[in-house]
Amino acid sequence: MRNLALSTALLLSLLGCATAPPPATTAHGPAQDTLWLDRLTWGASSADLAAVRKQGRSAWLEAQLQPLNPVTLPEAAQAQIQALAIGEPLLPLVQRMEAQRKAADALTDDTAKAEAQKNYQQALTKLAREASARQLLQALYSPRQVQEQMTWFWFNHFNVHQFKSNLRVMVGDYEQGLRERSLGTFRELLGYTAHHPAMLRYLDNEQNAANRINENYARELLELHTLGVGGGYSQKDVQELARVLTGLGVNLTDARPKLKPAQEAQYRRDGMMEFNPARHDFGDKQLLGITVKGQGEAELNQVLDLLAKHPSTARFVSRKLAQYFVADEPPPALVERMAERWQQSDGRITEVLRAMIGSPEFEASLARKFKDPTHYVVSAVRLAYADKVVLNTGPMIGWLYRLGQAPYNRQTPDGYPLDENAWAGPGQMTTRFEIARAIGSGSAGLFKVEGEAKDRPAFPQIAHPLYYDGIAPRLAAATQQALNTATSPQEWNTYLLASPDFMHR
């Protein structure tokens, strides 16, 4: 234990020193490095293990946290992403869907209208499925695995639900913006989400106007996005923040509202985000101990600055990060250190992550975190097929629905829970075993191309270097015993993917 603590303390000091790249370390064996990768990626891969063994953990992590080159996915994955309609810019895509909706609503024949409305709904659902497909392809094959996990984390933190209104058109764009900002500062993320039409619509802020207050977004902004429920705010603060947020809404058209000449200069439009001064409450606001002078859209920036720097935010979001990456009940001392780093670095996410990953608590927690459904499904497919790119993510989306953690499908703004209790119920375990069998027994639809009658031939190949070097040496005796009783490769795969060892990261 002492050696471990020493070596991680050394790692910590090296990571803090950006100018001198740390030398490769050989402090850990391949099995321990695999566990480390299992925590920082969507499931360790042979390639990442080889890179860590060659360059050392620090160099691998630096490349993850400061990606310099444009990301390249394997060609077969990239081609699938490029073929998606959600690649189109958001505004024209939304307007095209709006036109389809209006055309359907305008039909006078009831049968034709019902049919057209159904088609519209199906088109929306198809777009959200495309976004899910892109998310899963990125999780499976992006070399920037830490960034992909952070993208998922931030979407969940700033959660929106795909089935509200037309959000199915928007979730892909919303997620892509979170991906780009996922390793930046918290303030950037907060500002981004506060102005994205998906959020403004999901939490009803587009309905929030002077004298017609809707406090839904204001409350969740304090409770879930920044300070946390015990973070020191009152009902009065919620109401005042709701006033600050008045006038910030969504405009899907090209039209501009009619304004009095004096208000023209205050109007702002950016994509579908609109600040409409005619709907804003220009009175002064008192919240969280400060006075916000009524001045229009800039009020919100003042409040977001305050919230992003607030010690309660630093602690609340650091704890949530540690809950996702370290333990259901993260060690308070670790959370405090992360929050301190947050305060010192103005909420720079990579700094907070470095403080976490370099900690002895992180190392000590490896292999003890129960995988949530997304980690389970993605890591199983990564293990089963490694570099052989799947041709259809549909089955994965279906498994995530069955396990209760489908992309963009958490209805409530709190996001999916991050602790084992939420995912390890008896019914959920049984479902996992059935999915283990599906993945372990054959191609499971993952290689079925749309329009073709059958799957292209594929079979899970788990016996690769990652398995022999990284996984086999640490399997529990009971797991070994079960694997030895397998009567076919299918059954062997099923048992491995169903084992307690594979349920944890």
- Least distance (Å) from other proteins to the CB of residue 438? 7
Nearer to other proteins, 155 or 342 (CB): 155
Nearer to other proteins, 26 or 487 (CB): 487
- CA distances to 65, 287, 310, 334 from 339, in Å: 19, 23, 10, 9
Nearer to other proteins, 188 or 328 (CB): 328
- Least distance (Å) from other proteins to the CB of residue 266? 21
- CA separation for the pair 72, 144 (Å, rounded): 9
Nearest residue to 274 via CA among 259, 262, 261, 257: 257
Nearer to other proteins, 345 or 490 (CB): 490
Which residues form the interface with other proteins (CB under 8 A)?
Answer: 204, 207, 209, 211-216, 219, 223-224, 229, 235, 402-404, 411-412, 414, 417, 421-430, 433-434, 437-438, 476, 478-479, 481-482, 485, 491, 494-495, 498-500, 503
Nearer to other proteins, 366 or 503 (CB): 503
- CA separation for the pair 352, 182 (Å, rounded): 12
- CA separation for the pair 85, 83 (Å, rounded): 7
State the Rg of the chain over Cα: 24
The structure tokens listed for 446 are 């993952």
Nearer to other proteins, 354 or 432 (CB): 432
- CA separation for the pair 338, 358 (Å, rounded): 11
- Least distance (Å) from other proteins to the CB of residue 17? 40
Nearer to other proteins, 301 or 488 (CB): 488
Per-residue exposure over 472-498, b if at least 16 CB sit within 10 Å of its own CB, e if not: eeebeeebeebbeeeeeeebbbbbbbb
- Least distance (Å) from other proteins to the CB of residue 34? 19
- Least distance (Å) from other proteins to the CB of residue 296? 20
Type of residue found at 40 = L
- Least distance (Å) from other proteins to the CB of residue 100? 22
- Least distance (Å) from other proteins to the CB of residue 205? 10
Cα 313–5–18 angle (5° rounding)?
A: 60
Q: Is the C-alpha dihedral spanning 133, 137, 140, 142 positive or negative?
A: negative
The Cβ of residue 255 has, within 10 Å, a number of other Cβ atoms equal to 7
